[in-house]
Amino acid sequence: MRNRPARQPEIGPAPLSPEEKLGIAEEAVLDLKAVDPVVLDMRPLTVITDYFLICHGTSNIHIRALADRVLQRFEERRVRPFGTEGYQEADWVLLDYGDVVVHIFSEERRGFYALERLWSDAPRTELAPEAESDE
């Protein structure tokens, strides 16, 4: 019987926690001035994801730029989405990172689908850009 060598640990970045993923997505949309960004904590309500990050853009170009920034920030960490939807139309872009799902809407589409109302039982956090210091 041959002795098998001990298995070496895999080399590569450690997986990101849901909170780390959420932080990356939040920073990305805030960098490009997403409108009314909100985080819904989905953990008490469903097993499909931990967080929804919901925001909207001011135009199709802005919506695509927001999606591109989120994708870029995750790509820098070697994380790819499980799926993306709606990028070409740029009316509702969905970026699925498993435990974090980013929804970037047009203002009209956000009002129509009203995810914040649909999931009104989810604990909610509104994001605001960091206040600039007067120094």
Mode of pairing for the β-strands spanning 92-96 and 100-106: antiparallel
Confidence (pTM):
0.85
Residue ranges of domains in the chain, CATH in brackets: 18-126 (3.30.460.10)
The pLDDT of residue 128 is 73
Query: CA–CA separation, 113 vs 95, rounded Å?
Result: 17
Q: Please, which pLDDT band fits residue 10 given cuts at 50, 70 and 90?
A: very low
User: In this structure, what token pair is assigned to residue 43?
Assistant: 């953990």
The pLDDT of residue 133 is 39
Q: Please, which pLDDT band fits residue 70 given cuts at 50, 70 and 90?
A: very high
Is the distance from CB of 133 to CB of 117 less than 8 angstroms? no
Helix H, strand E, coil C: the string for the chain is CCCCCCCCCCCCCCCCCHHHHHHHHHHHHHHCCCEEEEEEECCCCCCCCCEEEEEEECCHHHHHHHHHHHHHHHHHCCCCCCEEECCCCCCEEEEECCCEEEEEEEHHHHHHHCHHHHCCCCCEEECCCCCCCCC
The pLDDT of residue 126 is 85
The one-letter code for the residue type at 79 is V
